[in-house]
Amino acid sequence: MIDSHCHLDHEPLLENLNEVIKRSKEAGISKLLTICTTPESFDRIKKIIITDPMIFGTFGIHPHETEKSHLIDKNYITSQVNQNERIIGIGETGLDFFYNHSNKERQIDSFKAHIEASIELNMPIIIHSRNAESETYEILKSYKSEKLKILMHCFTGSLNFANKLIELNAFFSASGIITFKNSLELQKTFKSIPLNKLLVETDSPFLAPIPMRGKKNEPSFIKYTLEKLSILKEKTNQEMSDLTTQNFNKLFNL
């Protein structure tokens, strides 16, 4: 198994990092991708990725944080990523018009800067999209000729949105949300997404899956999300583990 999206620089994961890594390995996880959200987050990630060879990282500014990071452009992003070969993706970036913690135009400008950096570096872009399906799709479609490597993180979008993104060759990461009892529509959507486009994630320390809901999430809990995805896709846990691992390694060229 590979946890394609966790935040090891967030507490309580950071202060318990050795135990978190140990439990991840015991659960059968082979790789962890710890995701950047701010410049300060990246400083922590650069220290985390040297603690164990199973850990890789990204550079990105979360849409909630774009107001504070208005000087970060494509050149800055590429310069940060080029510092370290264990930084393998761009993001978390995207659009969040649910909370609007940052100005919409600023979010869009930041999203485009991340996309253009991902094109220059030929790296996957890890996308957060909430209450912004049409805007996210139109921006991605405008770069269609560039053959983007797209990963829709913690995908909770509509089936229509998923189908349009599949035309752009996007990958989709299932989080613990697919285990929630009220996520029937999302479960139907994941049933329809092709097997070769699926990854799994925890988004830890957030969104713990059932039966761990209410606890602080961690990578080792990914097994519950994988089990649910296996049921939805009518595969064994081992088959789904193998498939999602292959998809991750293909997307991130590992």
Does residue 242 have a known ligand-binding role?
Answer: no
Structure tokens at 22: 């140990």
Q: How far is CA 197 from CA 13, 76, 135, 235, 244, in A?
A: 28, 30, 22, 15, 8
Buried b / exposed e over 17-32, threshold 16 CB at 10 Å, is beebbeebeebebebb
Q: Report which of 127, 222, 220 is spatially closest to residue 177, judged by C-alpha positions.
A: 222
Does residue 7 have a known ligand-binding role?
Answer: yes
Please classify residue 120 by burial: count the beta carbons closer than 10 Å to its beta carbon, then call 0-12 exposed, 13-18 middle and 19+ buried: middle
Q: How far is CA 234 from CA 86, 142, 154, 195, 229, in A?
A: 34, 35, 21, 11, 8
Helix (H, G, I), strand (E, B) or coil at 15: helix
Does residue 128 have a known ligand-binding role?
Answer: yes
Does residue 5 have a known ligand-binding role?
Answer: yes
Residue 124 and residue 115: Cα distance in Å, rounded?
9
Annotated binding site for a divalent metal cation: 5, 7, 92, 128, 153, 203
Annotated binding site: 5, 7, 92, 128, 153, 203
